[in-house]
Amino acid sequence: MNGVNHLLYHCMKQRPSRHTRRVLVGLRSSALYERCCSDLEQRGKRPLKRLRPLGVLCCHMHSLADLAKLRRHPDIAFVEQDVRIRAHGWCQRFGKCKKQGRGRAWKPRITWNIKRVQAPQVWRATRGGPVRVAILDTGIAKHPDLRVWGGVNTIGGSSYQDFNGHGTHVAGIAAAIGDCGQLAGVAPRARLYAVKSLNRDGFGYISDIIEGILWCIDQRMNIINMSLGIPPDLNSPSFRKAVRLAVKQGLIITASAGNNGRNSGGIDAPARYPGTIAVAATTRRNRIASFSSRGRGIDVSAPGENILSTSLHCGYQVMSGTSMAAPHVAGGAALLLALHPKLSPAAISQVLKRTARQLRGAGPRAQGAGLIQLRRAARLVIRTARKTSSYNRRD
């Protein structure tokens, strides 16, 4: 059988065409991966992306026959199509920013959804700083109510500015600063980072998302919010592997369940992957939103219908979707982590589920443990921190 280096060289195409497709190729060992990369470079071929920590190459392949050969090779762990992934939200109404004079006191405008998750009742103890929250989305636009500490573009470019609006809206829910009487997010002092992995239409490839996750690991983010997903019928070994690595490295991942409603047949990935916090969407009447996907694996719920948050051009807009629910949990996790920095992703998830409020008329396949209640969660975390401190003093 041909060596994997030789096979990859002949299957890989340097440029895309109507006859090629983007694929992800996973090698069985890091040594094989390094050898393949070195050999391909010496022979003048460069993969589209190198996802080194996963031992995965993203490249253009020409035919189904080539893919079949690769799948049969004993040194290849998997070959999958690099499918497009979509954001989980849509715009309903747009409004301009009302500029207000600066005052000495911090008196933000608090919307119903921020109150519903009990965020303001935690702000006396913490507002989320200096926890680092990465918004893996369409980027984050410049806005007076958002402070972005850094970011990256994984879709080809150097700017992480948002030209869609989805990422900016999500960022505002998680951590809008609320100065000058403007809107406050769940964790107003959390440090926002923009990971632009979706384009101006709200789409990106799985390889772009994975590259964003690997950047978050490398830059030591504390929390990743992914308000996006692939349908339940699609399987991605590389995506699952990237999420597993991030969780193993101690990152908290919040992910939207999907917008396919009661007949969804399950929740989207990465929400359905182990280790993530899968979030369903609720309404102002404390019901599960009709569009929110149902299925096994939902952990908690948060407001996701008619949510007002930051938008492009320094404005505000109303959007709906499980995309809007997930950043409530990301911001909530930032508050809890600020109170007790040593909490693991599993511990944060457990606290949120133990303190959630069960909603009437919906089972666990729709709401998980229920609507997050951050005041309850913060009290539990503070008690845990005191017990830990007491044990340490005894030792």
Q: What amino acid positions are annotated as catalytic residues? A: 137, 166, 323
- The Cα–Cα gap between 393 and 387 comes to 10
Residue type, 79: V
Contact between 325 and 279 (Cβ < 8 Å)? yes
Query: Whole-angstrom Cα distance, residue 109 to residue 114?
Result: 10
- Please choose, from the candidates 27, 23, 182, the residue with its C-alpha nearest in 3D space to the C-alpha of residue 109: 182
Let me know: does 264 contact 232? Beta carbons within 8 Å.
Answer: yes
> Which amino acid, 34?
E
Q: What is the C-alpha separation between 115 and 44, in angstroms, rounded?
A: 57
**β partners of residue 303:** 282
182-192 core/surface letters (b: 16 or more CB in 10 A; e: else): bbbbbbbbbbb
Q: Are 297 and 271 in contact (CB under 8 A)?
A: yes
| Residue that is written with structure tokens 């990237």 in the block | 242
Q: Are 230 and 236 in contact (CB under 8 A)?
A: yes
3-state DSSP call for residue 377? helix
Tokens of 32: 């094989």
Give the integer Cα–Cα distance in Å for 153 and 157. Answer: 6
d(CA 111, CA 89): 19
**Bond before 232 cis per omega within 30 degrees:** no
Going by their DSSP bridges, the two strands 49-51 and 21-27 should be labelled as: unpaired
Joined together, the tokens standing for residue 291 give: 């569009």
The CA distance from 373 to 352, in Å, is: 7
- The residue with tokens 């390094």 is 34
The CA–CA distances, whole Å, from 349 to 197, 332, 356, 372 equal 25, 11, 11, 11
